[in-house]
Amino acid sequence: MIMTTTLSTLSAVEREKLIADKFYCSLAQSSNDYAQLVKSGWVNHRYSHPQMLELYRQSIDSHPIAERRAGEAINILFTTGSFAPLHLGHIEMLQRARQVLYEAGIKVDKVIVSASHDQYVLYKNESTRHWPIERRIERIRELIKDEAGFSLDRWESQICEAPVNFTDVLCYLETYFLRCGFARVNLYYVFGSDNIEFARCFNFPQFVGRYGGVCVQRSQAFIDSATRSKMGTNIFFTQNLLYPHLSSTWVRNHG
């Protein structure tokens, strides 16, 4: 059981969600610290665990199966975020992440961009009000159209009625591609070094070879060697070289 003096105050619904999420549950078991869960991205969203399972089912049942690849494995690189707006630094971040995995012997088959729900984006930064999801999606499509293997997924932003965790997006993608007939779905989450705590969700031996993270160094959040040494073999590091200082805030302010 994960219940401790720190986590025992959770509601029954949130406790159920936490136990059902194998990534955050593992983190809770190891840290016994709710504050650490929040630092690692945990959002107590509106969906109960049964509701989330039903949302997966309904979404996938209504989603055309684009390909059927029985018996094969697939490596998916994905990222979530406000992307208000997506910019060339984000594109480079995904390119660098794909390259570092290739150098580690992992050939990425698909790169998926998932924009966050409007409610989350506005809560995070009110200045993004001029970048509703329709405009953010238009921008994403424009920037990824010439990137081989890149695609946009709208489940998080337009199918869900409220913000969800990035691990929910991971589980949705895994469920969908298993439904396509893939025998194994390996997923790697890309995040900036300002969100290094997200890596803790994957930093467990049972996830090596199946799930992992790629941390992309950003100029405002340096990751030292001591921090890197605490990460497992399924956490990879790279850096933006062409656009290390570019941010969505700068793009919003300068057009």
| Residue pair 152/78 in contact by the 8 Å Cβ criterion | no
Q: How many CA atoms lie within 13 A of 184 on its CB side?
A: 7
SS3 7: coil
Closest CA to 243 of 214, 215, 218, 222: 218
Domain ranges of the chain: 69-254
List, in sequence order, every residue forming a beta bridge with 150; answer none if it has no partner: 111
Angstrom distances, CA of residue 163 to CA of 28, 120, 166, 243: 21, 6, 9, 29
Length of the chain: 255
Closest CA to 181 of 64, 59, 71: 71
| Residue pair 169/58 in contact by the 8 Å Cβ criterion | no
| DSSP for residue 85 | T
**In terms of CATH, what superfamily is 69-254?**
HUPs (3.40.50.620)
pTM metric for this prediction: 0.93
SS3 138: helix
List, in sequence order, every residue forming a beta bridge with 114; answer none if it has no partner: 80, 153
Between CA 61 and CA 159 the distance in angstroms is: 13
| Residue pair 198/191 in contact by the 8 Å Cβ criterion | yes
pLDDT in tens, the chain (255 residues): 444 445 777 888 898 999 999 999 999 988 878 889 999 999 999 999 899 999 998 888 876 666 666 678 999 999 999 999 999 999 999 999 999 999 999 999 999 999 999 999 988 887 788 899 999 999 999 999 999 999 999 999 999 999 999 999 999 999 999 988 899 999 999 999 999 999 999 999 999 999 999 999 987 788 989 999 999 999 999 999 899 889 898 888 886
